[in-house]
Structure 1
Amino acid sequence: MNKSLLSLALMAALSGCSLMPDYQRPGAPTAASWPEGEAYIGSASAAKGAQMEMDWQTFFKDPALRQLITVALENNRDLRIAALNVDAYRALYRVQRADVLPLVSGDAAGSRTRTPGDLNQTGESAISSQYSATLGVSWELDLFGRLGSLREQALQEYFATEAAQRSTQVSLIASVANAWLTLQADQALLQVSRDTLKTYEESLSLTQRSFDVGVASALELSQARSAVDTARVGIERYTRQVAQDRNALTLLLGRNIPLELPADGRLERDLLAAVPVGLPSDLLYKRPDIIQAEYQLRAANANIGAARAAFFPRISLTGAVGTASSELSGLFDGGSSYWNFAPSISVPIFNAGQLRANLDYAEISRNIQVAQYEQAIQTAFREVADGLAAQATYVRQVQAQRDLLETSEDYYRLAERRYRTGIDSYLTLLDAQRQLFEVQQQFISDRLAQMVSEVELFKALGGGWDAQGEAIPGQG
């Protein structure tokens, strides 16, 4: 008996072996620093004074937007699904972890059987009874790490779903912000269209009076009416877009919009904090999607260990101890105990190349995960580089558009005075009105694009970091 216990202890010690390959993080297939060039000039000055520690609560400065993001984090269904996926993979990991430990079960059974007389040696029918109570143990000795590798694979997949949840959260925050900014922009465009319509209607009224006294031509009257119709078309278009923006925002929130949204469009307000550009490029390794890709790579690496271990014997120990009796009352009497011990070993001999194919598949899957991990880093690097280029160029573009807007306003005021005094024709005034309307629309569009690009840069940098440039996981 002592030799048996010693053998079991030795087998248990050997069960710590593993055939998993040593994990090595692939090298980054990107440059060691952010790109430089004419498109990036001005990024540093644009971010001057920015905080080196930032999360979404500090990045988004508008209280209404922060409230919307909070509502979305509590109610969005995509984020809820991601959280449930984490719970599901946590449960799968617990299932896989349990396979490494012995399985213990308690069983009780009883039976009564009537045997006909012609099947009984005495020639008379008989009734027999049998009762038993058993404690059984079953344990697969993980000598070559097959179960340990599968457990590690399940653990890494669980970690990957946690990272996926954080990635979904960062994407949700950015989506809510972009939807809010788009709504603000469309509300501003709607207001510009209404103001322009009012101006066009005043010009039409003036032109109509001039036409009635023979000063304005029929062509000028027709042009004035055309301008009014054009503005009315714009009002309906932006009215529709505002309604659709509200619907999109409601979907992201997972419930009705909980506050009365401002109707004036507030893109000119300081809604976002500046994103600093002095952050290290290895911050990309802290992005949730890259963390997810690396955990998936680790899971594929662990699966190779399980595929390798499948080539070696599988040893299982099964035993039971209990009592049995023909009478229920005698089930626990002396002499009714019994036990059995049944070790087994299974050695693969011929499987038509199935094990080799499984190992090849595991190694190919690992190589696929390596490529996907490297691609995730390259995509992240490009997103940040695009964001830095946008940050620098949009500052100059919006300022140039603002200057053009001021020039167009001066041009319109001058053209209106000259038309009213009879110096210029209505065609000059109409050209000034149209130019001002187009420049106003373009300015709002450029301002929206600038702010969306800043949100996307914040998202590309992982959605938050601390004073040391470390990403802030699981905000919310």
Structure 2
Amino acid sequence: MPFPTSLPRRSATRHALQATALAATMLLAACASPGPSHTPLAQTPADALGLQPAAHTPAAPAQWWSVLGDPQLDTLVDQAQQGNPSLAVSRARLEQAVALSQVREAANGPQATLGADVTRQRYTAHGLVPAPVAGNTYNSGNLQASLSWAPDFFGQHAAELQAALGQARAAQADAAAAANLLAAQVGRSYVALARLVAQRDVALRALAQREEQLQLTSERAAAGLDSQVELTQAQAAVPDARTQIASLEEQITLARRQVAALTGQAPGALTALTPRLAALQPGTVPGTLGADLLGRRPDVVAARWRVEAATQGVHSARSEFYPNIHIGAFIGLNSLGLDTLLNAGSRQMGVTPALRLPIFDGGRLRAQLGGRQAELDAAIAQYNSVVLEAVKEAGDALASVQSLTRQQSLQTEAAASAEKAYRFAQERYRAGLGSYLVVLSTESQVLAQRRLAVDLRARQLDTQLQLMKALGGGWTDDTATLHTAAR
């Protein structure tokens, strides 16, 4: 029986597949080993931090500061978002990260180039070049189109792209965090200015009362009903009130300059800015903290994306232990003599497949993988730190808001009693039934309560701004109701 000259088609295909699989197995076995698997650090779970389970929460309002209901504040924040230099830095970093991700994405696809060159050269007469070229000068031309591609069989390119995209998304979250921080700074500076204006109003009211009291005491002293002591005390109270007003005027000027600096304006651009605490209305506050509210904080989002980018970096470093395949092709014209460059005989073409695999590199790839794994651990640790700080910041602000609500209720009662006692003391003094010392004592209590009312109101607004910033940009009324009901 004659020996067959060819195998059946099915048998040949099976043997080809077996040979391919065997070759691939041998190639993979010959590669350097990445070593034992690495277990990254664990991310802090929400329930371990005492957070409520995540609910379906709408995104934070785009202009969350507008919940305070002051159009003047809205305008200032918009100006800050446009003119503050720190935001320009964040936007530039975001553009840089996006550009780098686009570079990585473009590098993963096929690359095509077109080149042309002309060379004038005298060839040595004593080299390897034969006659008639040897010893003569010729013009040579080359026109060539090239195509190259590195197939991503082991996911290295995809991991590198995802890592770059993760960094870009982290930079985007950083820009949002900078914008939120700036909005909170403008809002808090605006509230601080409104507090100083309100304290000045209290001081002006106190000055008017003391001038009225001085007039009354002067009349009583002239009638012999009061001594020189009461008159001197009444006279001293007037310049004291004016000194307090002057001090507040200075603080108001500095506060206006602070707002101007935050909004990117000249120091004296806001000399007429006179915000009113009454124009700022605090909104409904969530009763509890939810993982969904904290999870949308830009700094938490940025840290989470950096963990993702570092994870992809580990995948990329691990894929370098596997073979690298590169396919190239070219087609063009090449001629010794420009007059024949465009002839059909000057054509040249070729295909250049290449395979490279690491076998021994002195531990370089393992060290590189170890570095990427350490980067992942650092990113997870940073994420855990950011989450813990976010929980503390939001919890402190929420506790302060709730405490200030109770303090305001108690202060309202105390202020009403102090105002009533002051009116009685004045009436008795005018009627000649009470002493001037009682008037001074009750007036001090009234002024203290009026100042305290202003401070509590300003602190309530300030802590609510802190809470909005801590929760990644405020909340909607539906969100607040949802988390209050979950308490």
- TM-score, reference length from structure 2: 0.77
2:193 corresponds in structure 1 to 183
Deviating more after overlay: 291-300 vs 386-395: 386-395
The C-alpha deviation readout for 1:263-299, integer Å capped at 9, x for no partner, is 4x53234623323437854332223222221111101
Alignment-derived partner of residue 73 in structure 2: 65
2:451 to 434, 441, 465: 441
What residue identity is the alignment partner of 1:106? L
Which of 157, 165, 169 is residue 175 of structure 2 equivalent to? 165
Find the residue that maps to 1:268 and give its secondary structure.
helix
Q: Is 1:93 matched with 2:101?
A: yes
C-alpha separation between the residues in 1 aligned to 2:341 and 2:288? Answer: 78
Query: CA–CA distance in 2 between the matches of 1:342 and 1:22?
Result: 40
* Structure 1 counterpart of 2:412, one-letter code: R
Contact 1:192 1:440 in 2 (8 A): yes
What is the alpha-carbon distance in structure 1 between the residues aligned to residue 286 and residue 455 of structure 2?
A: 24
Q: Which residue of 1 aligns with 2:52?
A: 33
Partner-residue secondary structure (3-state), 1:335: helix
Q: Say if 2:468 and 2:475, in contact at 8 Å, map to a contact too.
A: no
Asked whether 1:381 is paired with 2:391, we answer yes
**Paired amino acid for 2:425:** A
Which residue of structure 2 lines up, in the alignment, with residue 244 of structure 1? 254
Deviates more, 1:154-163 or 1:316-325: 316-325
Scaled by the length of structure 1, the TM-score of the pair is: 0.79
Q: Provide the residue aligned with 2:485 in structure 1.
A: none
Partner residue of 2:483?
none
Query: 1:85-113: CA deviations, max 9, x gaps?
Result: 22221110011112212221111101213
Residue 357 of structure 1: how far off its partner (Å):
2.6
Corresponding residue number in structure 1 for 2:375: 365
1:327 aligns with 2:337: yes
Secondary structure at 2:314 match in 1: helix
- Partner amino acid for 2:112? V
**Aligned partner of 1:84 among 92, 96, 106:** 92
Q: Distance in 1 between matches of 2:158 and 2:229?
A: 86
1:267-306 alignment, distance < 5 Å: 267-269=277-279, 271-277=281-287, 280-306=290-316
Instruction: Tell me, yes or no, if the aligned pair for 2:148 and 2:327 is still in contact at 8 Å.
Output: yes
Amino acid at match of 1:333: N
Say if 2:189 and 2:259, in contact at 8 Å, map to a contact too: yes
Match of 1:418 in 2: 428
Q: CA deviation at 1:155?
A: 0.7
Equivalent-residue separation in structure 2 for 1:421 and 1:463 (angstroms):
57
Alpha carbons 1:394, 1:450 under 8 Å: kept: yes
Question: Relative to structure 1, is the Cα distance of residues 219 and 467 closer, same or farther in structure 2, using a 3 angstrom cutoff?
Answer: closer
- Residue 41 of structure 1 is matched in structure 2 by none
Give CA deviations for 1:355-385 in whole Å, capped at 9, x if unaligned: 3232222212212222222233333333333
Give the deviation of 1:335 after TM superposition: 0.7
Q: In the alignment, residue 317 of structure 1 is paired with which amino acid?
A: I
Per the TM alignment, residue 201 of structure 1 is displaced from its structure 2 partner at its CA by 3.8
Compare 387-396 and 218-227 and name the one that shifted more.
218-227
User: What is residue 144 of structure 1 aligned with on the other side?
Assistant: 154
**Amino acid corresponding to residue 148 of structure 2 in structure 1:** S
Change (3 A) 1:76 1:314: same
What is the aligned counterpart of 1:391 among 387, 401, 416?
401
Q: 1:129 aligns with which of 127, 139, 148?
A: 139
Letter in 2 for 1:443: A
* 8 Å Cα contact 1:140/1:317 also seen in 2: yes
CA distance in 1, matches of 2:169, 2:104: 14
Q: CA RMSD in A?
A: 3.9
Task: Tell me by how many angstroms 1:463 deviates.
Answer: 1.9
SS at match of 1:112: strand
